[in-house]
Amino acid sequence: MGLRAKFNLAVIAAFLIGFALAATGLKQLFDANARMQVVQNARIMMSAADAVRQYTDQQVAPLLGVESGGKFMTASVPFFAAVSVFKGVQKHFPDYTYHEPALNPTNPSDRATDWEADFINSFRNNPNLHELVGERDTPTGPSLSLARPIAVDSPDCLTCHSSPQRAPTAMLASYGSDHGFGWKLHEIVGAHVVSVPMALPLAAARQTFITFLAILVAMFVVILVILNVLLHYMVIRPVVHVARIANAVSLGDTDVEEYEKKGRDEIAVLSVAFNRMRRSLDSAMRMLER
C-alpha cells in the first residue's frame, strides 16, 4: 500500500469518527433548539390566554355580573372567555389548542383527559411546581403540551364552586348541581394546557441538520483534494525522485543526476544528506579503484 493510500485511509477514518460524533451532537442540538422554539410559542399562547382572562375579569365581569335576567353570563367567566377566544384561533390553526381541564369541572365537557389529569395531579402533589412540559403523539404528528396549574386563589370562586346552595340559580339551571362543587381555597383544581404541533419545527431542524452535514462532507472532499495535491508535490514526488536516483546508484550508475530540493523542510534536508552520501560513496569507490 502506497503512502498516498495510507494517508487517505487515515484521514478518511479520522473524518468518519469526527463526522459520527458531530452528527450525534448536532442532531441533539438541532432537536433541542426546535423544542425550545415550540415551548416559546406555547408560552406566548399561554400569555395571550392570561391577557384574555385578566381583561374579562377586570373589564367584562364588573359590567355583566354573574347572572342577568335569570341567565348565567358565561361571557363574564375569565376561563370561558379565554377558551372561546382560542376556539376562533383554532379554526385557522387546528393543531394549536388551548384547554382548561379540571378534575371536577362545572361543565362536564371540561373534564380532564387521562394525560391532562396527569398534569393536574403532578401540580397537586407538588405545590411548588408552576409549569410542566410534555410530549405526546397525535394523529397529525408529535405535539408538545405546556401546562400551568389552576388554583382557587380568590374566595369569590367559592361563590360558584363551594356548594350548590351558594351557587347562582342561573348557573345551576345551565349546568346542574352534580359537578363543579366542593372546591376549597388554595386547592389546585385544574390546569391551563396549551398544545403546539412539533412536526414542522422538527422537520425544519432535520432539514437544517442534513444541510449542515452535506456542507461538512463537501468541505472534507475539498480539503482532502487539497491535501492530496500538497502531498503529491511536497512529499511523494520528491521521495519518488530520490528513490529513483538511489535505485540507479545502487545498480552502479554514477552518471545519474543529483537531486536538490530548495527550501528548509525535511525533504530538502533529506536531499542534501542524500547528495552528500552519494558524493562520499563516489569518493570511496574511486579510492578503492586506485
Supply the CATH number for residue 140's domain. Answer: 3.30.450
**pLDDT at residue 263, as a whole number:** 67
Q: Which pLDDT tens digits describe the chain residue by residue (290 residues)? A: 777 888 888 999 999 999 999 999 999 999 999 999 999 999 999 999 889 888 888 888 777 666 666 676 777 778 888 888 888 888 888 889 898 898 888 888 889 999 999 999 999 999 889 999 999 988 888 999 999 999 888 777 777 788 888 877 777 777 778 888 888 888 899 999 999 999 889 999 999 999 999 999 999 999 999 998 988 887 788 777 777 777 777 766 666 677 666 767 777 777 777 777 777 776 776 676 66
Residues 272 and 160 reside in one and the same domain: no
Residue that finishes a domain, picked among 171, 197, 223: 197
Q: Residue 105 sits in which domain range?
A: 28-197
**pLDDT at residue 276, as a whole number:** 77
User: Within a domain: residue 14?
Assistant: no
Query: With contact defined as beta carbons under 8 Å apart, do 190 and 147 qualify?
Result: no
Residue that finishes a domain, picked among 197, 226, 255: 197
pTM (predicted TM-score):
0.71
User: Within a domain: residue 187?
Assistant: yes
Residues 233 and 179 reside in one and the same domain: no
Q: Is 254 exposed, middle or buried (0-12, 13-18, 19+ CB in 10 A)?
A: exposed
User: Within a domain: residue 143?
Assistant: yes
Joined together, the cell numbers standing for residue 208 give 437544517
Calpha distance 138→97 (Å, rounded) = 12
Q: How far is CA 156 from CA 66, 81, 159, 180, 274, in A?
A: 11, 17, 5, 14, 100
**pLDDT at residue 252, as a whole number:** 67
Quote the number of domains for the chain. 2
User: Within a domain: residue 3?
Assistant: no
Calpha distance 220→87 (Å, rounded) = 51
User: Within a domain: residue 210?
Assistant: no
User: Within a domain: residue 266?
Assistant: yes
Of 249, 248, 243, give the one whose Cα is nearest residue 285. Answer: 249
E strands, the chain, in order: 67-68, 71-72, 97-99, 132-138, 141-151, 188-197
